[in-house]
Each structure stands twice: as C-alpha cells, then as structure tokens.
Amino acid sequence: MEQLTIPKHIGIIMDGNGRWAKKRGLPRSAGHTAGAKLIKSIARRCNELGVKNLTVFAFSTENWARPQEEVSSIINLLRYYLKEIDKYVKENIRIRFIGDWSGFDQDIQDKMAKSEEASKNATGLVFSIALNYGGRAEITHAAKQIAQEVEEGKLAIEEITEQTLSGHMYTAGMPDVDLIIRPSGEYRLSNFLIWQSAYAEYVFMDDILWPDFKVKDLDRAIEEYSRRNRRFGGI
C-alpha cells in the first residue's frame, strides 16, 4: 500500500443492504444481517491504521418509515449485536451511540448505556454508531439546548460561535469528519453528519454494496483520500 495520510475521523454510510438481498432473492433483513457482520472487521482495521474516530450510519430518523417487519428485524439485530460489545473492549475500542436514544425500547437504551460505560476507558478508536440519527435533527437538538442556556442566562447571544454549536452536537469532543465513504452507487449524504462534514472528502463507490464491503475497500478509500489536496478554502 502507498504511503497514506490517515484521516482522523471517517464516516461510513452503510448503504445497499436491501438491494444486496434482493439480488439474491432474500428478504431485506438478510441484507442487514450480512451488513452488520462486517462492522467489526472495519472497526478493527481503522484501529490498526491509527484512525481516531469511525462513525457509521446504522439507522436514521427516516428509517422508521420502512415496513414494520424490516424495522423490527433491524431492532432485533441491534439487540443481538449489543451483546458483542465486550469484543470491542478487548481490542481497546471505545463505543459511542449518537442520535436520539428515546426512540428505542428501554432495554436497548440500557444496553447502549452499559456498552458505553464498559468501553469508556479504551484509548484506541472511538467507534460511534449513529442510531435514530439525522443531521437536521441533531442541529435542531443543539439549537434548542443553546436557546435554553440563553433563556436561563448561562449564555449570551453574542457568545454563540461555531464552536458553541459543535459543542452541543452528539459528536461533541470529536474532530470534524475528514472522509465519508458511501458504497452502493448513491451520491448523496442522506442527512448524515451534515454539520461535521463541511470540509470532508467524499469517496462514492459504484461497484459495491455494503454487505460486500471489505477491508481492502476501506484501504482503497483511504488511498483515494491520501491523493486529495485539502485546502480548506485556501490556495
């Protein structure tokens, strides 16, 4: 592999599960199951490379509108994989969940909290899983928190900066996204990390659906990122 510039923060839109299953004559839930099995190998590779933050888009605020059977299968899959968190802890990976937890049953919220607590002292990769997440909802949530602080006299309007907004996002304390990867041939952000990706580089992959995504595809995206000239508005 060529000399790499390693992103501090990678975001992945795990797209194409349903189409992968349909191509094989399988129910859409089979695609989600196949896609979920890949996550650990990708997180492990990011940890090996020295990536500090990985955020994956697992379930959006809009996904609730899908057929109930598919939503239920995704929720049950989440329950299953929350039992596997100790494997991440053993590899020095810290787990975070970003999004609106209140949309999930209490047992899932409890497991999410337990997973975060169990891995809080890990010093390697911070692996964030976006669940019931939407970029616009996140910004709205942050704005409401700031408005409340202003109303309570804890913050003056003239003190509000971009850093203030960033500090109230679900990703507070994390660097902005450097690289966003989306397989499946779609060319859009789909409401994912829209505040944090202002200067992100995008790698869209036409030739692969998420359940077929491999470590070599992650490496390929990072190689492409390494060839980019990031000027951040300068020359």
Q: What is the pLDDT of residues 96-115, one digit of tens each?
A: 999 999 999 999 999 999 99
Mapping DSSP to helix (H, G, I), strand (E, B) and coil, where does residue 30 land? Answer: helix
Please indicate if the annotation marks 116 as binding a ligand.
no
The response to whether 60 counts as a known ligand-binding position is yes
User: 9-13 and 201-205: which strand pairing?
Assistant: unpaired
Q: Kindly tell me if the per-residue pLDDT of 1 is higher than 60.
A: no
Is the pLDDT reported for residue 232 higher than 80?
A: no
Q: Which of 63, 176, 191, 212 is catalytic?
A: 63
Q: Is this prediction's pTM over 0.85? A: yes
Mean pLDDT of the chain: 93
Q: What is the pLDDT of residue 82?
A: 87
At residue 86, the pLDDT reads 76
Give the other-Cβ count within 10 Å of 150's Cβ: 14
Task: Say if residue 101 carries a ligand binding annotation.
Answer: no
191 a catalytic residue = no
pLDDT above 70 covers a percentage of the chain that reads 98
Q: Give the residue extent of every domain in the chain.
A: 9-133+177-227
User: Are 78 and 35 a contacting pair, CB within 8 Å?
Assistant: no
* 82: CB partners within 8 A, 6+ apart: 108, 111, 112, 115
219 catalytic per annotation: no
- d(Cα 117, Cα 176) in Å, to the nearest integer? 24
What CATH architecture applies to the domain 9-133+177-227? 3-Layer(aba) Sandwich (3.40)
Is there a binding annotation on residue 231?
Answer: no
